[in-house]
Amino acid sequence: MTDIQAAPAAAPAEADVQPAIELRGISKSFGPVQANKDISIRVMPGTIHGIIGENGAGKSTLMSILYGFYKADAGEIFVAGKRTEIPDSQAAIAAGIGMVFQHFKLVQNFTVLENVVLGAEDGQMLKPSLAKARKSLTRLAEEYELNVDPDALIEHLSVGHQQRVEILKALYREADILILDEPTGVLTPAEADHLFRILDNLRREGKTIIFITHKLREIMEITDTVSVMRRGQMTATVKTAETSPEELAELMVGRKVLLRVDKEKAAPKQKVLEVENLRVVDDKGVERLRGVSLEVRAGEILGIAGVAGNGQSELLAVLGGIMEGEGHVRVNGAELPLSGRHADGQSRRRRGIGHVPEDRQHEGLIMEFQAWENVAFGYHHDPRYQLNPLLMNNAAIREDTAGKMERFDVRPPDPGLHARNFSGGNQQKIVVAREIERNPDVLLVGQPTRGVDIGAIEFIHQQIIRLRDEGKAVLLVSVELDEIFSLSDRIAVMFDGRIMGERLPEETDERELGLLMAGISEEPDQPEWQAVDEQLDRKEAQAAGSDPAGGE
Ligand code: ADP
Ligand code: MG
């Protein structure tokens, strides 16, 4: 993706250099959950130190302790060799530690400049602070390629630019150590590339970066050293150059994991799902789908790539009967109603559409219900689930659920457990089992592995491929390009409510898809992150000049 080289090894022997940060024996519990267990780690100055681990491994907790958000139950923090108490974020900032949050904490209707200065004003005087900040912002922008318009309102900025403001904010407070918690989750590949360049520049200037992610590729690409967390423990710290994605995956999960999905070439047959000129206007009057057409054949997976918020969710919602739309949708040649009484999820299921919704917590499951009730959810008209037209056969549903749980390796395999008491990965397995075992002609799948651990990802991917191989049509929506590449037989990219283009996975790459995801269909002459930047700048300028109601 990028050609960033690891920084040259620091000149002095490593033993002579104090770690920028050292944590010793950090433990932290939330009630019965021990999020961090006796964690020790040394982060060397001028390096990018990755921390990788599955969801819930305890990464954010550890960083929140370092940034003074949580108080550790035990353990010590050393900054540049000196034992340091960090009871709050003020103390962290004073110790030279800055944090870029997963969910930005910027004031939306303030300008970039105001946000940078906020909380770091010189005394009570705002004006001199602003003037000083403007200068310093210009310098930082030049030094690190961190350019953003100081006078733009945050609400008009793209997510990538908002993230830069967070970084600027930390640098303005003279942070030497920057913590980034899953910073690429919200970025396009080109934006992520640009972020990596910024991080590389920061490293060159001697800053220390702690980079948290659950993506192996990013660790391999940008870090010098990587620490792996599993279930609250630090399982290993290794030099990135001396490890491999396979080894890291094994350290994360605790067993060998197939990183590539094994699949045969698709053998697509007749058209099963046909979508023509689909339009959707949301309840705020914003057009979310602007004439989408596509088709999926029996025995193939069409993957929809795109940055979240470009209409993919609405596409699935309309097809799954959760939202109304206009246009034409046919399944096996028969037209489906897109509005009215017969456009609900129930009717869709009867027409052979299975749906693994993007948001399993709200649309896929009822958290307060038990697993077996959730398995009947949407399928209670199944004769096998009924004793007679008035009474459900609960015993039969429980038994069916137990079978699904066994086949889909749901842990614990207890049909009586409430949905909310399963981990994210196991909740998802319940939804996938329910939808796949109905043997739908069309399977709609949204973000099938969001928040799911690598072990379960492997399993869910295998199930989706199996369904394809049984001759079903699969429409996959995912913001994870890796997932799109490993599952799709064809890839369509959505941008701004439209399909920007369609490619075969073997004939395209992340770069090209990344451009389409940013709404650029031609190869630009300049580096892609510059092209994307310019385009974002144009969009932001437009947004600033008009009513932003149409924006995200
Ligand atoms: P990661 O960032 O690696 O995904 P977290 O540090 O967010 O993991 O979470 C580790 C564990 O601690 C999880 O089981 C999570 O549910 C739990 N946890 C985190 N924060 C809290 C909190 N404020 N209250 C209760 N439990 C929490
Ligand atoms: Mg986290």
Least confident of 264-268, 401-405, 449-453: 449-453
| Of the candidate ranges 105-109, 158-162, 186-190, 419-423, the one whose mean pLDDT is the lowest | 186-190
pLDDT at 552: 36
Q: Where are the domains of the chain?
A: 19-96+210-253, 271-521, 527-552
Ligand nearest to the CA of 101: 2
| Mutational test site, ligand 1, from 60, 61, 211, max ligand atoms within 8 Å of CB | 61
pLDDT tier, 19 (very low <50, low <70, confident <90, very high otherwise): very high
Phi/psi region, residue 309 (left: phi>0; alpha: psi -120 to 50; beta: rest), is left
* Protein residue whose Cα sits closest to atom 10 of ligand 1: 58
Record the tokens describing residue 410, joined without a space: 């749901």
Q: How confident is the model at residue 548 (pLDDT cuts 50, 70, 90)?
A: very low
Please tell me which of 157-161, 340-344, 474-478 the model is most confident about, judged by mean pLDDT.
474-478
**What is the rounded average pLDDT of the residues 62-80?**
96
Among 125-134, 171-180, 220-229, 471-480, where is mean pLDDT lowest? 125-134
Position in ligand 1 atom list of the atom nearest CA 58: 6
Task: Read off the pLDDT of each residue in 204-217 and give the average, rounded to a whole number.
Answer: 93
| Cα 181 to ligand 2 centre (Å) | 7
Q: Is 420 in the pocket of ligand 1 (CB under 6 A)?
A: no
Q: What is the mean pLDDT of the chain?
A: 88
Atom of ligand 1 nearest to the CA of 57: 3
Measured in angstroms, how far is the CA atom of residue 238 from the centroid of ligand 1?
Answer: 24
Q: Is residue 64 scored above 90 in pLDDT?
A: yes
What does the pLDDT read at residue 551? 38
pLDDT-wise least confident of 92-106, 196-210, 397-411? 92-106
- Res. 123: pLDDT tops 70: no
Looking at residue 307, its pLDDT comes to 85
pLDDT for the residue 142 = 85
| Residue whose token pair is 């350019």 | 147
Q: Which atom of ligand 1 is nearest to the CA of 232?
A: 10
Using a 10 angstrom Cβ sphere, with 0-12 exposed, 13-18 middle and 19 or more buried, the burial of residue 239 is: exposed
Among protein residues, the one whose CA lies closest to atom 24 of ligand 1:
30
Q: How far is the CA of 58 from the centre of ligand 2 (A)?
A: 7
| CB-CB contact of 492 with 501 (8 Å) | yes
Residue 480 has pLDDT above 90, yes or no: no
- Is 292's pLDDT higher than 70? yes
Task: Please tell me the distance from the alpha carbon of residue 481 to that of residue 488, in angstroms, as a whole number.
Answer: 10
Pick the residue whose CA is nearest to atom 13 on ligand 1.
56
Model pLDDT, residue 361: 81
Q: Which CATH class is domain 19-96+210-253?
A: alpha beta
Average the pLDDT over 232-237 and give the result.
95
Residue nearest (by alpha carbon) to ligand 1 atom 17: 35
Is a pLDDT exceeding 80 seen at residue 14? no
Asked whether the predicted pLDDT for residue 236 surpasses 70, the reply is yes
Domain 271-521 in the same topology as domain 19-96+210-253:
yes
Helix, strand, coil distribution of the chain in percent, nearest 5: 40, 25, 40
Cα within 13 Å of Cα(21), Cβ side: 31
Looking at residue 218, what is its pLDDT?
92
Task: Using the predicted structure, report yes or no on whether residue 1 has a pLDDT greater than 50.
Answer: no
Give residue 119's pLDDT band: very low, low, confident or very high (50, 70, 90): confident
In this prediction, residue 515 carries a pLDDT of 87
The pLDDT value recorded for residue 531 is 65
Indicate the burial class of 479 (C-beta count within 10 angstroms; 0-12, 13-18, 19 or more).
Answer: buried
pLDDT digits (tens, 9 = 90+) for 175-201: 999 999 988 877 877 888 889 999 999
3-state secondary structure of 238: strand
Q: Is the CB of 56 under 6 A from ligand 1?
A: yes
pLDDT of residue 496: 92
**CB-ligand 1 contact for 26 (6 Å cutoff):** no
Q: Is the CB of 33 under 6 A from ligand 1?
A: yes
Mean pLDDT of 163-170: 92
- Residues 39 and 27: their CA atoms lie apart, in Å, by 7
The per-residue pLDDT for 122 is 62
Distance 56 CA to ligand 1 centre (A): 6
Which atom of ligand 1 is least distant from the CA of 212?
2
Nearest to 545 by CA among 153, 110, 112: 153
Rounded to the nearest angstrom, the distance between the alpha carbon of 60 and the centre of ligand 2 is: 4
Out of 44-53, 99-108, 129-138, 445-454, the most confident range is: 44-53
Q: Which residue is closest in CA terms to ligand 1's atom 12?
A: 35
Q: How confident is the model at residue 549 (pLDDT cuts 50, 70, 90)?
A: very low
For residue 145, the CA-to-ligand 2 centroid distance in Å is 27
Q: What is the pLDDT of residue 338?
A: 96
CATH superfamily of 271-521: P-loop containing nucleotide triphosphate hydrolases (3.40.50.300)
- Residue 268 CB–ligand 1 contact under 6 Å: no
Peptide bond into 412 cis (omega under 30): yes
Cα angle value 530/141/199 (rounded, 5°): 75
Q: Which ligand is nearest to the CA of 180?
A: 2
| pLDDT over 90 percentage in the chain | 60
Q: What is the pLDDT of residue 547?
A: 45
The band of 253, judged by pLDDT with boundaries at 50, 70 and 90, is: confident
